[in-house]
Amino acid sequence: MPMNAEEPLTLVPDESRPSVGVDDGQKSAGASRFNPKFTDAVIAATGPKANKRLAQVMPSLLRHLHDFARENEITVDEWMAAVNMVNEAGRMSDEKRNEGQLLQDILGMETLVDEITYTLANEAQDQPTATAILGPFWRHGAPKRNLGDSIIDADQGGDKTHMHGTVTDFTTNKPIANAEIDVWHTAPNGLYEQQDPSQPDMNLRGRFYTDSQGRYDFICLRPTSYPIPNDGPAGKLLGLLDRHPMRPAHIHFIISADGYKPVVTQIFDRKDKHISDDTVFAVKDSLVVDFKPLEGDPRANFELPYDFKLASFEEARKSGMKGATAVAP
């Protein structure tokens, strides 16, 4: 029976069909049953005035996509289940919920394209701060706050943390004044403020600006691990794949400064039990940090020193770093 938009995503394994893995040697057996000219015909439909980048990448995408369908003998019902999943993600998405990005995240795609975009930076010996995915919960226009301020607008428990450090040029080690640190994380209940009516607007978000010595500090929470929203297609897909929805405790950042390549990143609590099995595959060793117990500060019971290192656009171009260098002034 064909699936429609109201039906849940269900996939019924067909025991009569062989499992067609990459290494089982049956790849070409399935493919040979189908019209061998079909994919070439679809690729050839692209016109001479096509967008250049699309004209470059679409033949590859179409070949992989069609080969995937042929190799696995995808049926109409299975394909429609995927179409419905994408449609459902679209219906759920708005300015506060990005289900499409969440679906991509659990498939590792955001982490992969992040790695591709910044590979050369990560391979450099002396490195700028490593990147990690933006994720679907960043909000434009977080409140500007003064150095030393807290981003906790509503105290709902949790361990207060004094985070401090510097922003410097990774090649010269010179401090970068007036660098913007855009920071956000969840409340102790594991929810970002836009997911949670009990939190004030823009709670646990803020933008800070380094002083003339490149220094910053603020009060935040020691973050908690949380499940990504699992009431939509991403959650259903995780269930079908027998996967958990947890992310290890982390704090998000975008660090930017005039003349420097912005860094989108996250730092992760080494003690978190999900540090090795992040459901969106974002953890990198250099971004794992230790929260230190702090005494004598009435504002915080943990301390987190962390220095950010940025690459200038000029340096980024010289070392072949890709990504945001294209928009360099």
- Residue 245 near residue 235, CB atoms below 8 Å: yes
Residue type, 58: M
With tokens 């200038």, the residue in question is 312
CB of 63 to Fe ion, least distance (A): 35
Nearest approach, Cβ of 139 to Fe ion (angstroms)? 12
Closest residue to Fe ion, Cβ-based? 135
Smallest separation (angstroms) from Fe ion to the CB of 64: 30
Shortest Å, Cβ 255 to Fe ion:
16
- Please give the angle made by the CA atoms of 319, 288 and 219, to the nearest 5 degrees: 105
Q: How far is the CB of 137 from Fe ion (least distance, A)?
A: 6
Are residues 309 and 110 in contact, defined by beta-carbon separation less than 8 angstroms? no
Pair 308, 167: CB distance under 8 Å? yes
Task: Return the number of the residue (70 or 185) whose C-beta is nearest Fe ion.
Answer: 185
Q: What are phi and psi of 251, to 5 degrees?
A: -120, 135
Smallest gap from Cβ 209 to Fe ion, in A, equals 23
- Build a one-symbol-per-residue string for 113-152: x at contacts with Fe ion by CB under 5 A, - elsewhere: ----------------------x-----------------
- Please spell the DSSP secondary structure of 226-250, one letter per residue: EEPP-SSHHHHHHHHTT---EE--E
Total residues interacting with Fe ion, rule: CB under 5 A = 1
- Shortest distance, CB of residue 6 to Fe ion, whole angstroms? 31
CB-wise, 97 or 215, nearer to Fe ion?
97
Residues 6+ apart with CB under 8 A from 14: none
Site for Fe ion in 207-226 (CB under 5 A): none
78: phi then psi, degrees, rounded to nearest 5:
-65, -45
CB count in 10 Å sphere of residue 304? 21
Query: Could you tell me the end-to-end alpha-carbon distance of the chain, in angstroms, rounded to an integer?
Result: 56
Amino acid letter, 260: Y
Q: Which residue's CB is nearer to Fe ion, number 282 or number 316?
A: 282
Residues that bind Fe ion (CB under 5 A): 135
